[in-house]
């Protein structure tokens, strides 16, 4: 009886020791090593048809990258170990829900606004691309109001309000592509 109890207590102590030691090295956040420590973010190019997206995406992207302590943003491409280029390539707006109007059943009320980009990360030391023209796409929903002013003006106002959220989501995806282990 005593031997069984002693074995049980030793097994319990060993299990507790192993359980506590396995959590001892855990660290919050990304710990992957990057191949570069300085990054130049080239001015965002735009062929998407949303000229206001350039500033929003650029600002949001820099803010996201500045939060990572593993890299430092460079203001000069010749002093950076890597160069990030972003090209906004396409935007689309697709109707997803229609208003129920007795005389016009095709009046759209909800849209999906999509912004697509191509992203390239170039290592200046090896003169090779870490990834080339990686396609990224983000979609946010926008809603027009049920006012009497008509769908076109409501749609433009809704697009204007949704664009910063779309830019933030795209900037997060780009930052993840650059900073995550690939």
CA atoms of 140 and 159, how far apart (whole Å):
10
CA atoms within 13 A on the CB side of 73: 16
pTM higher than the cut 0.75: no
Structure tokens at 129: 């691309």
State residue 151's pLDDT score: 46
Is 60 exceeded by the pLDDT of residue 34? Answer: yes
Q: Which CATH code fits 34-179?
A: 3.30.160.150
Encode pLDDT of 88-116 as tens digits: 999 877 766 655 555 554 555 677 888 99
DSSP reduced 3-state for 108: strand
CA atoms of 147 and 119, how far apart (whole Å):
40
Give the 3-state DSSP-derived string for 90-106, with helices as H, strands as E and coil as C. Answer: EEEEEEEEECCCCCCCC
Is 70 exceeded by the pLDDT of residue 142? Answer: yes
State residue 178's pLDDT score: 94
Structure tokens at 125: 């030391």
Do 81 and 123 touch, CB atoms closer than 8 A? yes
Mean pLDDT of the chain: 80
State residue 48's pLDDT score: 87
């Amino acid at each position: 009886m005593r031997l069984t109890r002693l074995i049980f207590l030793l097994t319990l102590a060993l299990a507790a020791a192993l359980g506590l030691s396995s959590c001892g090295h855990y660290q919050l956040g990304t710990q992957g090593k990057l191949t570069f420590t300085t990054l130049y973010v080239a001015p965002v190019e735009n062929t998407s048809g949303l000229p206001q997206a350039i500033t929003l995406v650029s600002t949001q992207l820099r803010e996201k990258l500045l939060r990572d302590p593993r890299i430092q943003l460079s203001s000069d491409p010749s002093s950076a170990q890597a160069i990030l280029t972003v090209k906004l390539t396409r935007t689309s707006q697709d109707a997803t829900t229609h208003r129920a109007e007795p005389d016009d059943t095709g009046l759209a009320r909800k849209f999906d606004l999509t912004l697509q980009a191509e992203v390239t990360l170039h290592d200046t030391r090896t003169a090779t691309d870490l990834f080339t023209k990686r396609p990224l796409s983000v979609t946010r929903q926008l809603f027009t109001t049920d006012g009497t002013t008509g769908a076109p003006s409501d749609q433009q106002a809704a697009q204007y309000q949704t664009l910063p959220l779309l830019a933030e989501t795209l900037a997060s995806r780009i930052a993840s592509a650059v900073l995550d282990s690939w």
